[in-house]
Amino acid sequence: MKSILLGTVIALALSVAGSGVAAESMQVPAYVAAAVADPARATDAAKDGRRKVAELTAFAGIKPGDRVLELIPGSGYFTRVFSKVVGAKGQVYAVWPEPYDKVSHPDSDDLRKLAT
């Protein structure tokens, strides 16, 4: 069964990072590394070191073919990586609760443009 991951995994990953587990010690699968290294992410790459996107994605266990649920995806920074990782056989659901969507512009509008 394909896993469905909640956006709250980010909070969990941050709590692990705060517990002394070094993000640098996490094994990053090749498919995650390839998604992060995608040249289409050039504008996001400057944020990767601070956000530990490869390590967080590896920690979450996201893999090709998975279905991922991301809550309040912001500008879509993680959404774009998750989409590259799951590939054509997977699916990423980016969910904006309606009350938050009303005040999240332009982020929610920009993410709608990315959706296919």
At residue 29, the pLDDT reads: 97
Residue 75 bridge partners (DSSP): none
pLDDT tens by residue, 26-40:
799 999 999 999 999
* Band (6; pLDDT cuts 50, 70, 90): very low
Neighbours of 19 (CB within 10 A): 7
3-state SS, residue 91: strand
Residue 3 predicted with pLDDT over 80: no
CA distance 106 to 95: 15
**Summary count for the chain: helices (H), strands (E):** 7, 3
